Amino acid sequence: IMIVTLFTSRVILDKLGISDYGLYNAVAGAVGLLSFLNNTLSKGTSRFLTFDLGQQNAARLKQTFSTAFYMHLCLALIIVIILETGGLWFINHQLLIPSERLFAAEWVYQISIFTAVISILQVPYVALIIAHEDMSIYAYISIFEVLGKLFVVYLLIHSPIDILIYYAVLIACMQLLVALIYLTFCKLKYIESKLKLTFEKSIFKEMLGFSGWNIIANLSETP
């Protein structure tokens, strides 16, 4: 994965060019600032799912997973609101973007928001796999994801539209495909992954408290 990532980074820089490569990282990076939430919430969700597995409490396990999913859904909606208001203002008024690339930058920003939402919603399924300690499938999907990004680099050679927008669309499609693989695997193997129309306030408060302290810890360790 490390070798392929190093190779793809170099090729992407070559295909996009210095200006578009920097523009993509600046615009998508505004959304990526929230990516640390994924790791924090994944740890918190895994912790509660693992505890319920150890207790062999199938009913509570289903409630915990459903509550975790709806919690992430609410978080995704909140992030969309923040990014479509304050974030959009920042992109249009604070970033120094060449006027001829503003249209592409706005498209990349919207696509990046979609990618971020997909990434957040897949967290409960990834956490469930980790809780069950099915690390082999987790490794296989990670390898598939990095090879998929290598294929994205190949597709950049023949871009039918603006190459910056095309790259953002391909990355979003790759993220969506990976999320669907996680979802499908969990649906086929874990009965608790079938969502129920339930939201346990007690579980939500516990998960929110645990994740909140994790977020503070992660922020304090960030240089």
For 124-146, write each residue's pLDDT tens digit. Answer: 998 888 888 888 888 898 889 88
Percent residues over pLDDT 70 in the chain: 91
Asked if pLDDT for residue 106 goes beyond 90, the answer is no
**139 Cβ neighbours under 8 A, 6+ residues apart:** none
Mean pLDDT (the chain, rounded): 83
Predicted pLDDT of residue 33: 63
Residue 140's SS3 state is helix
**149 Cβ neighbours under 8 A, 6+ residues apart:** 4, 5, 8, 171, 174
Predicted pLDDT of residue 169: 92
Cα separation, 185 vs 163, in Å, equals 33
Contact 40, 49 (CB under 8 A): no
Let me know if 167 is exposed, middle or buried by CB neighbors in 10 A (0-12, 13-18, 19+): buried
Cα separation, 133 vs 123, in Å, equals 15
Closest CA to 129 of 76, 187, 59, 212: 187
**16 Cβ neighbours under 8 A, 6+ residues apart:** 24, 156, 163, 164, 167
Asked if pLDDT for residue 176 goes beyond 90, the answer is yes
Predicted pLDDT of residue 202: 80
Cβ count near 19 (within 10 Å): 11
Dihedral sign from CA coordinates of 117, 120, 121, 125: positive
Each residue of 21-61: pLDDT tens digit? 888 888 777 666 666 666 677 777 888 888 888 888 788 88
Predicted pLDDT of residue 4: 82
**How does residue 181 score in pLDDT terms, banded at 50, 70 and 90?**
very high
pTM equals: 0.84
Each residue of 73-85: pLDDT tens digit? 988 898 889 888 8
Let me know if 127 is exposed, middle or buried by CB neighbors in 10 A (0-12, 13-18, 19+): buried
Asked if pLDDT for residue 180 goes beyond 90, the answer is yes
156 against 208, higher pLDDT:
156
Asked if pLDDT for residue 218 goes beyond 70, the answer is no
Predicted pLDDT of residue 35: 61
**How does residue 149 score in pLDDT terms, banded at 50, 70 and 90?**
confident
**How does residue 173 score in pLDDT terms, banded at 50, 70 and 90?**
very high
Query: What is the enclosing helix (H) or strand (E) of 176?
Result: helix 163-189
Q: What tokens appear for 26 in the block?
A: 């600046």
